[in-house]
Structure 1
Amino acid sequence: MNSQILVNLEVLSLSYLPEKLLHREREKAQFLNNIRSSINTFICGNNGSGKTSLVKHVLHSLNKKELAFYVDCSVYQTTYSVLKEILPKSEFILYRSNYELIKELLKQAKERKFTICLDNFEKLKDKDLIARFMSIGLCVVLISDNEENFYLLNENIRSNIPSVIKLQPYAP
């Protein structure tokens, strides 16, 4: 039996992001092109297929003018918590109501290009938030481990997501 000692325990952490994303060059190029072209995208794949790593790698490669936000909807499930997670990162003034937060986001979106990546989007309590983001011109990326979650969205939202990136499992 071959026994090895892990030197870097960080690799076992859920928040671990590898320096290089292996065997996802095509998907990474497509996703980067989608963001730069403001194409709404749905990314799906089994647990461990690299969805979150792919998104985070691409977001880290963007320049300062391209505002992109990653939100894990298993943690931030309400409209208010998602908006509060997005707005402080861009040093915006915070408001109290959802209406005021959306209004501020709309104002800022007119000045700069935004991308919002919603991981585990199916955990959102208010899926209409996705439609609101799209209606104010934000590029929306939805991430899920189950392709069926895409088809649970209403037709209006689905019809505004022209790109689907399916990550195949890594072969053993």
Structure 2
Amino acid sequence: MRPQKIQDGELLAALSDVFRNKGYEGASLKELSEATGLQKASLYHRFPNGKKEMAEAVLNEMDQWVTQNIFKTLEQEGITPTIKLKNSLDQISKLYNGGKDNCIFRALSMQEGFDLFHDVITKGFAGWLKSFKSLGLSMGQSDQLAEKNAIQTLIDIQGSLMLSKAMQDTIIFKNTLKQIEERYS
């Protein structure tokens, strides 16, 4: 068997970039092929169910990364809530390339993508809310305040990503992460 031209991690990163920037409907097989450096036939060999399977693989990879690097950090025992927050905000910045990259959930929740990936997106956002609520509770916030802050945190992250992209100014995203840190101080 011939060696693969592109490793799985690189492949999923390239596919993710296309989906983040074009959404599900806008991502053509030609663009996915060009981004990965693979011919369409090779993409179908790796993903027999086509573009939907590619998007599912990207979502699965993203879920694993976020769970490992953000959720587990926010829920980790034995470190102070302040350190948990700082470490997770650093990872959030890394996930979104300092505010330059779109959220994959937003990109895949338009039109047909929403119907196809609704359950995964809903589960993903629920994970974000659960983890930030856990942080708030570990800081002594009431259940109601911890939930309120978790919701506002997710709104702030998502909104600042959209605004940063629209205004072509990542300072908006970076300042939002600072404001989130202040919210939990």
Structure with more helix by fraction: 2
Q: TM-score, normalised by structure 2?
A: 0.29
**TM-score normalised by structure 1 residue count:** 0.31
Q: Of Structure 1 and Structure 2, which has the larger fraction of its residues in strand?
A: 1
Structure with higher Rg: it is: 2
